[in-house]
Amino acid sequence: MEKKAEDYLDDEFNVEGHKYHPTDKQQWIAKAIVSLVRSVKGKPLSAPEKDELWRNVTTRWESERPNAGSVLGRRYRLWGSAAAVIIVAAGLLLFRYYEDHSDERLLNHARRLHGAGAATDGAPLLTFDQDATISLANASSIRIVGDTVETTDENGLTIRNTIQTRGDYASMTVPYGQRTTIELPDGTRVTLNAGSVLSFPHRFPENKREVSLIGEGFFEVAHQPDRPFYVYSENMQVKVLGTSFNVSAYSDDEEAGAYLVEGKIELTPMGAVRFKPRILEKGTVATFNKRQGQLDVNLNSLENHAAWTQKRLVIRSATLASILRKLERFYNVEITLAQHRALGADRFSGVLDLQRPLQAILRDILNVEASEIKQKGRRITIK
């Protein structure tokens, strides 16, 4: 019996067109059916649509991930105890960030380190991908110049380390209770507040400078008009058109914000967040409320959001809960407010001198007579 089109197509291995003899009528029909079905029009997914889709997946994925990378966290703590400048060879820190987009890639980098608990304990660390980590326990300033990391200790002694890494990214991790200033390869100075991670390429490309931040940083950006400077954080992207500003993007804070001291910055949403891009002028503060998903921009030159760089905390109508969270980070402690004290929602204003002992600050804020402050190691309980 003559083999028909359906017989040809029934054969699992004959689907590929090249196996057909084009002069056979049945084979011609079989081939025509396959090629028509195969060329059915699909609506192509554009690259931005595809990226957005993937970004939505990763954002949700990250947010649902319980205690991401806790195994890595333990490693960090071990390293934190080393007080000297050490370079440790490859392989211990395995990060995975294969996203095509530098913003997501950079941010994931910071997320991983932050999630790994790197920002909670020990000494500040400078990490170069999986290749090397430098502990900065005694360093008072850090500079990256070309392929060299210069660390200067409190006695003015400078140590230079050559960066040997196959990777592209470096991350500065600052644990709770500490602050660090780092000078990036382009001369930009970033002061990082407690519990922050800054990720950046250790060599900036010619056309732009990109960094990502989780936590809080005060940026003094080196002026290079044809090489814009971007800061990516969980909810917003800051494009620098001018010079110095403060970005606050702690993952455990209800609000994220940018405060501009000089020049101009442009704020655009990141990830799943939606708000209209805004240009901030000098003296304005933008606050993004994560729960309400809303960005507010106010002219507010009175409130110095960068005061923490001078070891002062300026508070304006902040809840006690949010103040305590800032203090926890600054002093690296855990503060528990007894539940029957309905103070958590009360709002406070004022300036706190962060060079004073924490107990003294707490006594300033709270009504001494009514409060009992107990400290046991890193744990502080207020009754």
Partner 1 sequence: MSEQNVLYLTNWKLFIKGDDRALRVMFDALVEELYTFGLHLCTDEELVKDAIQDLFLDLTRYRANLNPEVHVQAYLFSSLRRKLALAIKRDLGNTQLREQSAVHMFDFEWDPETNFIQREEEHVLYAKLRKELANLSAHQREALYLRFRAGLSYQEAAMVLDISVASCRTLIYRTVKQLREKLEVTKESISSILWLLTGPSK
Site stretch for partner 1 (CB under 8 A), options 23-31, 79-87, 275-283, 322-330: 23-31
Specify the DSSP element, H or E, that contains 200. strand 196-201
**By CB under 8 A, residue 163 contacts partner 1:** no
Cβ nearer to partner 1, comparing 19 with 65: 65
Q: Minimum distance from CB of 215 to partner 1 (Å)?
A: 23
- Residue 9 binds partner 1, judged by CB under 8 A: yes
User: Closest distance between partner 1 and the C-beta of residue 81, in Å?
Assistant: 28
Q: Does 340 bind partner 1 (CB under 8 A)?
A: no
- Establish if 37 lies at the interface with partner 1 (CB under 8 A): yes
Q: Determine the Cα–Cα distance for residues 179 and 181; give it in Å rounded to an integer.
A: 7
The single residue among 48, 91, 96, 340 that binds partner 1, judged by CB under 8 A, is: 96
> Which residues 6+ apart lie within 8 Å of 126 measured at CB?
133, 134, 136, 142, 149, 170, 171, 172, 173, 182
- Quote the least distance from Cβ 269 to partner 1, whole Å: 18
Distance between CA 269 and CA 232 in Å, rounded? 9
Q: How far apart are CA 315 and CA 350, in angstroms?
A: 5
Q: Which is nearer to partner 1, 98 or 367 (CB)?
A: 98
Question: Taking CB under 8 A as the rule, which mask of x and - marks residues 347-376 in contact with partner 1?
Answer: ------------------------------
Considering the rule CB under 8 A, would residue 166 count as an interface residue with partner 1?
Answer: no
- Minimum CB–partner distance for residue 32 and partner 1 (Å): 6
User: Residue 50: in which H helix or E strand, if any?
Assistant: helix 47-64
Query: What is the separation of C-alpha 197 from the centre of its chain, rounded to a whole number of angstroms?
Result: 6
Binding flag, residue 145, partner 1 (CB under 8 A): no
Residue-level length of the chain? 383
> What's the angle, vertex CA 144, arms to CA 138 and CA 146, rounded to 5?
145
200-232: b (≥16 Cβ within 10 Å) or e? bbbebeeeebbbbbbbbbbbbbbeeeeeebbbb
Binding residue for partner 1, selected from 1, 18, 22, 369, defined by CB under 8 A: 22
Site string for partner 1, 53-82 (x = CB under 8 A): xx-xx--xx--xx-----------------
Q: Which is nearer to partner 1, 48 or 357 (CB)?
A: 48
User: Rounded CA gap, 276 and 294, in Å?
Assistant: 10
Q: Is 11 in the site for partner 1 (CB under 8 A)?
A: no
Q: Does 92 bind partner 1 (CB under 8 A)?
A: no
Pairwise CA distance, residues 134 & 182, whole Å? 13
Query: Would you say 28 or 348 has its CB closer to partner 1?
Result: 28
End-to-end CA distance of the chain: 94
Residues forming contacts to partner 1 in the complex (CB under 8 A) are: 4-6, 9-10, 12, 15, 22-26, 28-30, 32-45, 49-50, 53-54, 56-57, 60-61, 64-65, 96, 98-99
